[in-house]
């Protein structure tokens, strides 16, 4: 695949992804009043989790598209007198929001299954804090369109711990409860990391591996769809009664 074709595939996919993921977020927000009481506490967290994810990815994807439009991924802009790389700034935004996404996913697991954090939950929260601290260091070279391998590993190991830990907890308790929806959520998290880990490990050596971010991103869209289709499309009993009265 030529660099030009790759660029346009990435741009078109990124734009479609943002339209779809924001569509789910707005649909969840619009239907939040009709949530069933027994799912409301964690269904709303799905809305906030994907709102965060969409916000960070808008920066990440939007700045990449902007960089392409300005001539290439190494494009920089002037911010308060300093030159800032568009791609690096976008990568930082999504790095922060995806960390918080998995914190909310941990809380979704707690509320869905009524579980205490336990030692593993505290480890996952610690991993989130460690990742946020690591991202402050200048060695991350956020201005670079290709991050340094060593610091990319240092900041991504806690994220991998977060994601795989949450997937384990969700799958363990979803299987015990016979909850097929949350089993699928857990499997989709594993699928996303199955595509993401090779990118973290080898993208500096084989740039084409960056294309694995497409199926990784699709896995997140599937999770959003599972949450919306199974939690947000069931009318509450109160609204159902109101609709019957209106028709009468």
Write the pLDDT tens digit of every residue in 147-190: 788 998 999 999 999 999 999 999 999 999 999 999 999 999 99
* pLDDT of residue 66 exceeding 70: yes
* pLDDT of residue 129 exceeding 90: yes
Task: Round to whole Å and give the CA distance between 85 and 66.
Answer: 11
According to the model, what pLDDT value does residue 10 have?
75
Summarize the chain as % helix, strand, coil (round to 5). Answer: 80, 5, 15
* pLDDT of residue 119 exceeding 60: yes
How far CA 148 is from CA of 25, 90, 156, 200, in Å, comes to: 33, 16, 12, 11
Cβ contacts of residue 124 below 8 Å, gap of 6+?
102, 106, 161, 162, 165, 166
Please, are residues 45 and 108 in contact by the beta-carbon 8 Å criterion? Answer: yes
What's the pLDDT tens digit per position in 68-118?
776 766 666 666 666 667 777 788 889 999 999 999 999 999 999 999 999
Bigger pLDDT: 159 vs 235: 159
CATH number listed for the domain at residues 3-232: 1.20.1070.10
The total of other beta-carbon atoms located within 10 Å of residue 79's CB is 9
Cβ contacts of residue 87 below 8 Å, gap of 6+?
63, 64, 67, 73, 74, 75, 145
For the chain, what is the mean pLDDT? 86
Q: What is the mean pLDDT of residues 187-213?
A: 89
Q: Closest Cα partner for 64 from 40, 82, 91?
A: 91
- Beta bridge mates, 85: 76
According to the model, what pLDDT value does residue 177 have?
94
Q: Report CA 1 to chain centroid distance, whole Å.
A: 27
Q: Quote the percentage of the chain above a pLDDT of 70.
A: 85
Q: Where are the domains of the chain?
A: 3-232
Q: Quote the percentage of the chain above a pLDDT of 90.
A: 57
Band of pLDDT at residue 12, cut at 50, 70 and 90:
confident
Q: Closest Cα partner for 219 from 20, 33, 11?
A: 20
What pTM was estimated for this model as a whole? 0.87
């Amino acid at each position: 695949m030529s660099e030009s074709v790759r660029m346009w595939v990435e741009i078109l996919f990124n734009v479609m992804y943002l339209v779809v993921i924001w569509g789910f977020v707005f649909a969840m927000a619009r239907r939040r009043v009709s949530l069933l009481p027994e799912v409301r506490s964690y269904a709303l967290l799905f809305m906030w989790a994907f709102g965060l994810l969409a916000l960070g990815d808008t920066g990440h994807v939007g700045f990449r598209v902007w960089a392409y439009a300005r001539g290439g991924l190494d494009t920089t802009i002037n911010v308060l007198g300093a030159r800032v790389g568009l791609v690096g700034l976008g990568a930082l935004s999504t790095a922060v929001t995806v960390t918080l996404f998995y914190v909310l996913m941990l809380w979704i697991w707690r509320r869905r299954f009524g579980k205490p954090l336990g030692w593993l939950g505290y480890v996952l929260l610690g991993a989130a804090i460690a990742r946020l601290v690591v991202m402050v260091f200048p060695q991350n070279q956020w201005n670079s369109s290709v991050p340094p391998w060593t610091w990319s590993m240092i900041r991504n190991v806690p994220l991998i711990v977060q994601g795989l830990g949450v997937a384990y907890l969700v799958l363990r308790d979803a299987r015990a409860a016979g909850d097929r929806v949350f089993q699928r959520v857990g499997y989709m998290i594993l699928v996303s990391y199955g595509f993401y880990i090779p990118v973290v490990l080898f993208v500096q050596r084989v740039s084409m591996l960056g294309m694995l971010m497409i199926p990784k991103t699709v896995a997140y869209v599937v999770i959003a769809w599972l949450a919306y289709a199974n939690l947000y499309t069931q009318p509450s009993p109160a609204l159902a009664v109101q609709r019957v009265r209106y028709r009468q």
